């Protein structure tokens, strides 16, 4: 079943040592683009986390947030604050404000958010913390996949209905072809006969029919219709298959658009052209939906 690239997942793990909160937000993208928003002192683990995420995702833009809250003083710190540098920065800001005749009220929350003030501890992260982070990340991915699957069901139902409508339009085009060829054959035969009479040249009925057949063959779209039918059948199979469904459907829709465009151009018939326009309009709606499928 196809999965949407749009989804949301959140999970929280609480232990006596810490509380871990993961959030994943994703939207559609041609490729897999992962943006991490994690505490500076835990960024050394991002490579392992990314491998875990790539097991579950192949396309889309993912924004992944981690909030780490240690409990109590017994929790090992993974980074230390450079207090001397912080004091120097505060002193300089205070001096600058004084020189400008302004009062300076330091914003400690903003100050502490500056990564330059933090130094990573040489100690390895607590093994239990690493385990809990991995466990909670996988739980968040599970929740995220559920939301993507739910939207995927909606996309599946919508595309199935549109593919059925495309099949109906294709059948109407196919039914129109014999009448178009018959009308064009009659019209061409009359034109050739008029040209021959005007030129005072004699031509046999067999030769005239041969010339008409050559001209009407250029209007025949039976090969395009066969390929269109194959594309629609293939799209239905891909929609219910596995793997990168979105990429495959996007390619097939492009090929289908090319074939129906040829049909509308070759037919030289107003009704066929109208049906081809309706077909292309529906294809574009399908393509908009497919852009959100992984």
DSSP assignment of 95-141, as one string? HHHHHTT------HHHHHT-GGGEEE-SSPPPHHHHHHHHHHHHHHH
Greater confidence, 136 or 69? Answer: 136
Residues 273 and 187 in one domain: yes
Q: Which residues lie below 8 Å from residue 13, measured CB to CB, with a gap of 6+?
A: 19, 20, 21, 132, 135, 136, 139
Give per-residue pLDDT as tens, 149-166: 999 999 999 999 999 999
Q: Report the pLDDT value the prediction gives residue 268, as an integer from 0 to 100.
A: 77
Q: Report the pLDDT value the prediction gives residue 113, as an integer from 0 to 100.
A: 76
Which burial class, exposed, middle or buried, applies to 180 when counting CB atoms under 10 A from its CB (0-12, 13-18, 19+)? buried
Q: Report the pLDDT value the prediction gives residue 229, as an integer from 0 to 100.
A: 96
- Reading across the β-sheet that carries 18-27, which strands appear in turn? 7-14, 18-27, 60-70, 32-37
Contact, 285 vs 257, CB < 8 A? no
Residues 133 and 251 in one domain: no
Residues 141 and 166 in one domain: no
Residue with tokens 């992944």: 64
pLDDT category, 3, cuts 50, 70, 90?
very high
Give per-residue pLDDT as tens, 201-212: 666 666 656 655
**Mean pLDDT of all residues belonging to the chain:** 86
The verdict on residue 1 lying in a domain is no
Final residue of a structural domain among 151, 185, 210: 151
The verdict on residue 92 lying in a domain is yes
Final residue of a structural domain among 119, 151, 183: 151
Distance CA 190, CA 196 (A): 10
Nearest residue to 147 via CA among 3, 2, 291: 3
User: Rounded mean pLDDT of 5-16?
Assistant: 96
Q: Report the pLDDT value the prediction gives residue 189, as an integer from 0 to 100.
A: 61
Please tell me whether residue 180 adopts helix, strand or coil conformation: helix
Residues 128 and 24 in one domain: yes
Residues 47 and 35 in one domain: yes
User: Rounded mean pLDDT of 99-106?
Assistant: 87
Q: How many CA atoms lie within 13 A of 125 on its CB side?
A: 19
Show the tokens assigned to 160.
């199935």
Residues 159 and 223 in one domain: yes
Residues 277 and 218 in one domain: yes
Judge whether residue 188 has pLDDT over 70.
Answer: no
The verdict on residue 267 lying in a domain is yes
Task: Provide the domain count of the chain.
Answer: 2
The verdict on residue 95 lying in a domain is yes
239-165-219 Cα angle (round to 5):
105
- Expressed as residue numbers, the domain containing 172 is 152-290
pTM for the whole thing? 0.71
Residues 168 and 84 in one domain: no
The verdict on residue 66 lying in a domain is yes
Q: Report the pLDDT value the prediction gives residue 98, as an integer from 0 to 100.
A: 86
pLDDT category, 105, cuts 50, 70, 90?
confident
pLDDT category, 218, cuts 50, 70, 90?
low
Show the tokens assigned to 4.
């949407």
Judge whether residue 78 has pLDDT over 60.
Answer: no
What proportion of the chain, given as a percentage, has pLDDT over 90? Answer: 56
Residues 108 and 192 in one domain: no
Residues 145 and 23 in one domain: yes
The verdict on residue 90 lying in a domain is yes
The verdict on residue 281 lying in a domain is yes
3-state helix, strand, coil in the chain (%, to 5): 65, 15, 20
Q: How far is CA 217 from CA 8, 113, 134, 274, in A?
A: 55, 73, 65, 21
Residues 285 and 209 in one domain: yes
């Amino acid at each position: 079943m196809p999965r949407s690239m749009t989804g949301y997942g959140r999970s929280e793990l609480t232990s006596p040592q810490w509380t871990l909160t993961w959030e994943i937000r994703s939207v559609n993208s041609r490729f897999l683009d992962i943006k991490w928003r994690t505490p500076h002192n835990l960024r050394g683990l991002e490579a392992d986390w990314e491998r875990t995420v790539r097991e579950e995702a192949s396309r889309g833009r993912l924004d992944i947030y981690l909030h780490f809250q240690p409990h109590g003083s017994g929790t090992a710190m993974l980074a230390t604050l450079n207090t001397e540098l912080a004091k120097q920065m505060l002193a300089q800001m205070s001096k600058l404000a004084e020189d400008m005749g302004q009062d300076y009220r330091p914003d400690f929350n903003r100050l502490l958010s500056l990564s330059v003030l933090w130094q990573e501890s040489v100690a390895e992260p607590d093994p239990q913390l690493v385990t809990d982070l991995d466990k909670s990340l996988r739980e968040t991915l599970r929740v995220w996949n559920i939301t993507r699957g739910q939207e995927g069901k909606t996309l599946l139902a919508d595309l199935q209905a549109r593919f059925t409508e495309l099949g109906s339009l294709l059948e109407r085009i196919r039914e129109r072809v014999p009448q178009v060829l018959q009308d064009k054959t009659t019209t061409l035969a009359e034109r050739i006969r008029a040209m021959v009479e005007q030129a005072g040249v004699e031509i046999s009925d067999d030769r005239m029919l041969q010339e008409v057949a050559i001209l009407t063959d250029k209007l025949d779209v039976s090969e395009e219709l066969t390929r269109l039918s194959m594309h629609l059948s293939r799209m239905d199979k891909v929609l219910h298959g596995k793997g990168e469904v979105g990429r495959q459907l996007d390619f097939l829709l492009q090929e289908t658009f090319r074939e129906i465009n040829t049909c509308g151009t070759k037919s030289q018939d107003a009704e066929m052209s109208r049906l081809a326009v309706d077909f292309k309009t529906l294809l574009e709606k399908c393509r908009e939906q497919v852009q959100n499928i992984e």
